[in-house]
Structure 1
């Protein structure tokens, strides 16, 4: 059986492995690496037997994997301290900031991520994808980009998202209003949504 540190080394920046391994010894939880989920990068839950479990998607690049893991550890710590606190309330924000601070190092995160991550952590949101600049900087390190970001394609262009055809409309703050071609219904797409352009 592989040692925990050997497994972590496959998914994390090398300079962060031992630091994360120490957190495992402090907080004691079941750790499961799972297949890609479309709706989330990771999650934390308390099991029926009272144990704690954190799951992280196996398709994340090492920088997002680390950020997601610490995000979920902050949920675990917050739950232990104050079980009835809001999921992403002030207690979670404080714990997330405290846990992430030691990882804000240039030997762990590249400069282009580090500058946006430092800003994000001043008031962290429930999802890193809510921060456009941080999300884009993290996505640059993905192994492969399947398609184009919606903000990169022209207005009125036809594109496919989950095999459904849409036409891109105008931007409304951080999202684009798009029309599903078949039903004519309008949908809002996140600035960094990955879509496929219709081949000409």
Structure 2
């Protein structure tokens, strides 16, 4: 199947040509994989010396595009600078440069652009660390059957990674949640998706 046909299933239509160009200009294989709990994507050098980028297949088109460009930035940073900090200043500059052409309302929804521009001033290892951007990328809708922690009422019990918690007070950007097994309080990002009980 041609690359543009594959990409059309995962990213916004107006981004396809630019992404195809980035893939063709850089020497790596793209693999779309089943959801992983701990990451959206990954870049690695394979034992045979080739390079591979993987992206989770469950991401919406905006998350997929951002994750793919994030990983391509790792590849280009590796080619230009060798071994450097994974999300250090070299990667940040490359990622910002790669993302600029995509910051348009015909690619990302208009209401996402301010959050994306703010995130790109100093991009972090994960978009999930920026609560406002993360919510905007998910279009303010959690996956089916799940709820965001910030939407839960005080005292609501919920399931997260097979453990039952009870939502507590809000701190600045996080929520105190009591683990009902060990009675310890853990801080949850407001945009964590959980199942209510």
TM range (shorter): over 0.9
Give the corresponding residue for 1:138. 137
> Aligned ranges for residues 51-62 of structure 1 at < 5 Å?
51-62=50-61
Distance in 1, matches of 2:131 and 2:116, equals 11
Indicate if the aligned counterparts of 2:131 and 2:189 stay in contact, CA closer than 8 A: no
Where structure 2 has 5 or more consecutive residues not aligned to the other structure, the ranges are: none
Residues 127-168 of structure 1: per-residue CA shift (max 9 Å, x gap):
101111110011127684331100111122211112321111
1:67 correspondence with 2:93: no
Distance 1:80 1:142, change over 3 A: farther
Distance 1:175 1:193, change over 3 A: same
Distance 1:196 1:177, change over 3 A: same
Give the corresponding residue for 1:182. 181
Give the corresponding residue for 2:159. 160
Indicate if the aligned counterparts of 2:142 and 2:148 stay in contact, CA closer than 8 A: no
Distance in 2, matches of 1:175 and 1:142, equals 19
Give the corresponding residue for 1:40. 39
Indicate if the aligned counterparts of 1:159 and 1:195 stay in contact, CA closer than 8 A: yes
Answer with 116-125 or 35-44: which moved more.
Answer: 116-125
Distance apart, 1:93 and its partner CA: 0.4
Give the corresponding residue for 2:80. 81
Distance in 2, matches of 1:127 and 1:185, equals 26
Distance apart, 1:196 and its partner CA: 1.7
Indicate if the aligned counterparts of 1:33 and 1:57 stay in contact, CA closer than 8 A: yes
TM-score by length of 2: 0.95
Indicate if the aligned counterparts of 1:42 and 1:68 stay in contact, CA closer than 8 A: yes
Where structure 1 has 5 or more consecutive residues not aligned to the other structure, the ranges are: none
Superposition RMSD in Å = 1.4
Distance apart, 1:118 and its partner CA: 1.1
1:27 correspondence with 2:26: yes
Indicate if the aligned counterparts of 2:142 and 2:193 stay in contact, CA closer than 8 A: no
Answer with 111-120 or 95-104: which moved more.
Answer: 111-120
Instruction: Count residues with an aligned counterpart.
Output: 197
Distance in 2, matches of 1:33 and 1:11, equals 10
